[in-house]
Structure 1
Amino acid sequence: MARPRTIDRDNVLDCAEQLVQRRGAAALTLDAVAKEAGITKGGLQYCFGSKDDLVTALIDRWIAGFDAQVARNAGASPTIAGRVAAYVAACGQYDAAGHARMVGMLVTLLQSPRYLQRMRAWYAGWFHDCTPDSDAGRRARTAIFAAEGAFFLRSLGFIEMDEAEWQNVFADFQKLAS
């Protein structure tokens, strides 16, 4: 009896992201992802269950990657200002591929309130400690809004900025968090 072929979940998620980048969110079907990944639709369903589960895995992977970058930037036992500065730094460190992935994810998120709710919960966690009743909390909240705004403007192609200018802008955002 032949050994069953294992499916590389990360490769399937990479393929799903690439598919959305090339052909848009409407192209994200189980058939298309299976073909892109070189596996059967049944194998894809065995691995992820449903399209909703696949999209949830994409969102969870993006969140985990971003949170890991923040943790690397923040170091051990950071203050809220340190965490927000690390968050701002992570937004500024995303490369063109990261921006393209995020745009694909945004388009996908807009298709379902379930996915939108997942992102709302994640952002709520970040803003929980940025209380408006203190100057530090307001600065932290403003720094996150500024970093996210710049990230989305650049990701969506609404602004163009060379890397040096981009880093200078994010240095200003980090000063807000301090």
Structure 2
Amino acid sequence: MGRRRVIDQETILDAAERVVARDGAANLTLDAVAQEAGVSKATVIYDFKTKQALIEAVIDRAFLADNARHAALEAALEPGHSPAIRGRIHGGAQAPPETFRAVALNLSAALVLDSDLRRKMQANQASVIVRVLETSAAPRNALLAYLALEGLKFLEFLDFHHFPPAERDRIIREIEDLAVARPRDGSPPGD
């Protein structure tokens, strides 16, 4: 009978996120994560082997959490058309917390520098876009709304610009209006 694990991978990933937020992904070390988690470096190496594997695990977990959050938001919506984009818009209604912005900013740098991680992001985005298009009564409008929403989030996550709360709320409402608006040619949504 083997020893029972005292620390789980989630605890190590939580510690890795804190190190990334504080020091940046480029400065993440297995030693720093071990110290932050209160475990030995051997424990971190046992679960993740390398710094790159640890960063990849943090990013994978972020994708899973983001997708699960949006699926739950979709499920909570009143029945109607365009659940994927409406769920995404509801998810983006609140500006990201400062602690998450620091992690997102630093992980974005890791994505830029690593083609394998970038491919994961591309696959995740492609999947989201397909879902937005397939579940929308007005696919073109939903796509434009998604692009506007992601642009807003990009500005915030990368700390390029932050709108005052009232203006941000108005932008979110207008993005939602765009998602469900009639196409310009006057045809009903989805035609």
TM-score (norm 1): 0.85
User: Counterpart of 2:109 in 1: which secondary structure?
Assistant: helix
User: Counterpart of 2:161 in 1: which secondary structure?
Assistant: coil
1:115 partner letter? L
The match for 1:125 is 127
- Aligned length, in residue pairs: 176
Instruction: Indicate the RMSD between aligned Cα atoms, in angstroms.
Output: 2.6
Return the alpha-carbon distance in structure 2 between the equivalents of residues 135 and 10 of structure 1: 39
- The 1:177/1:48 distance shift into structure 2, 3 A limit, reads same
The match for 1:90 is 91
Is the CA contact 1:143–1:177 (under 8 Å) kept in the aligned structure 2?
yes
Return the alpha-carbon distance in structure 1 between the equivalents of residues 121 and 8 of structure 2: 25
Return the alpha-carbon distance in structure 2 between the equivalents of residues 144 and 7 of structure 1: 39
Q: Which runs of 5+ in 1 are unaligned?
A: none
Within 5 Å, give how 1:32-43 maps onto structure 2: 32-43=32-43
Aligned identity (percent) is 33
2:165 equivalent to 1:163: yes
Is the CA contact 2:86–2:176 (under 8 Å) kept in the aligned structure 1?
yes
The match for 2:16 is 16
2:34 equivalent to 1:44: no
The match for 1:29 is 29
Return the alpha-carbon distance in structure 2 between the equivalents of residues 48 and 116 of structure 1: 19
Is the CA contact 2:84–2:131 (under 8 Å) kept in the aligned structure 1?
no
Return the alpha-carbon distance in structure 2 between the equivalents of residues 79 and 54 of structure 1: 40
| Match 2:108 to one of 106, 109, 121 | 106
C-alpha displacement at 1:141, in angstroms?
A: 1.0
Return the alpha-carbon distance in structure 1 between the equivalents of residues 65 and 172 of structure 2: 19
Return the alpha-carbon distance in structure 1 between the equivalents of residues 80 and 111 of structure 2: 31
1:55 partner letter? I
1:92 partner letter? A
Return the alpha-carbon distance in structure 2 between the equivalents of residues 80 and 61 of structure 1: 29
- The 1:5/1:82 distance shift into structure 2, 3 A limit, reads closer
C-alpha displacement at 1:142, in angstroms?
A: 0.9
Is the CA contact 2:25–2:106 (under 8 Å) kept in the aligned structure 1?
yes
Return the alpha-carbon distance in structure 1 between the equivalents of residues 113 and 34 of structure 2: 21
User: Counterpart of 1:160 in 2: which secondary structure?
Assistant: coil
Which structure 1 residue ranges, 4+ long, deviate > 4 Å from structure 2?
A: 2-5, 76-80
- The 1:104/1:32 distance shift into structure 2, 3 A limit, reads same
Is the CA contact 1:30–1:44 (under 8 Å) kept in the aligned structure 2?
yes
- In our comparison, the structure showing a higher alpha carbon Rg is 2
Is the CA contact 1:92–1:151 (under 8 Å) kept in the aligned structure 2?
no
2:110 partner letter? T
Q: Which runs of 5+ in 2 are unaligned?
A: 181-191
